[in-house]
Amino acid sequence: MHIFLIRHGESLTNVGENYEKRMPDHIVPLTEKGVMQARRAGEWLAEYCRRTNVDLGRARIWRSPYLRTRQTSDIFNEYLHINSIREDITLIEQQFGMFDAVPRERWGELYPREYEEYLRQQANYGRFYARLPLGESPFDVAIRIHQFMGTIHRDRDREGIDTLFIFSHGTTLRAFLLRWFHYSPEWYHNEPKPDNCWIREIDHHTDQGYINIEACEAADAAEGTEACDD
């Protein structure tokens, strides 16, 4: 199976604007820069698939139903031209609960008791297993991602779909890698969150890593901006 894992482009949350707007996470849109990132990364990926003979005839796009991943995948598909697009709720971002849209440095200030309990859970159970107040832990995300993996295996067996483009979120994509390759919780915490529109390739059970970092950095450098701001 050939899989491309793609994080959405820059969104309002990534630039800190969503804290003031308090927009529900599932309708947070891309910024203008995020749209530009998706266009150049989508064009790059289409050319990469052409050069490496990736079979798009049996390909499918899977995406989180959040607005920013829908927007990112639609822009990518202007270049990929894949007919089959599906959504799965298990691909959504980690649920931050009470801390949603709140800058991490203000968690303790705004929710002191809840933050203290979260830190206690981290100390007792470890960061991978500690659940955010009214939200999820990375462990919870990994469990639901495992459910999604059953879907893509059935698609391969029943429909011959063996090339996937999965558009999701930073925590969710790392959780996918952890489950797919049976990586450890320690790997998860040492693995940096991918920047916006970074593409990671899995080719026949081999982790090829992020394949477009240099292209992303070069494009941003040409525009005089920092590479792929988180």
Name the domain boundary from 135, 165, 184.
135
Judgement on whether residues 130 and 180 belong to the same structural domain of the protein: no
Domain that holds residue 125: 96-135
23-32, 115-124, 216-225, range with the lowest pLDDT: 216-225
Q: What is the pLDDT of residue 80?
A: 97
Q: What phi, psi does 187 have (nearest 5°)?
A: -60, -45
Judgement on whether residues 88 and 191 belong to the same structural domain of the protein: yes
Q: What is the DSSP string of 147-161?
A: HHHHHHHHHHHHH--
Structurally, how many domains does the chain consist of?
Answer: 2
Judgement on whether residues 152 and 44 belong to the same structural domain of the protein: yes
Whether 230 is covered by a domain: the verdict is no
Strand partners, 85: 61
Percent of the chain with pLDDT over 90: 79
Judgement on whether residues 152 and 130 belong to the same structural domain of the protein: no
Whether 229 is covered by a domain: the verdict is no
* Other CB atoms within 10 Å distance of the CB of residue 172: 24
Count of residues in the chain:
230
Residues 172-195: tens digit of each pLDDT: 999 999 999 999 999 999 999 999
| HEC string for 86-143 | EECHHHCCCCCHHHCCCCHHHHHHHCHHHHHHHHHHHHHHCCCCCCCCCCCCHHHHHH
Residue 90 sits in a domain whose CATH number is 3.40.50.1240
Residues 3-31: tens digit of each pLDDT: 999 999 999 888 766 666 677 889 999 99
Judgement on whether residues 65 and 160 belong to the same structural domain of the protein: yes
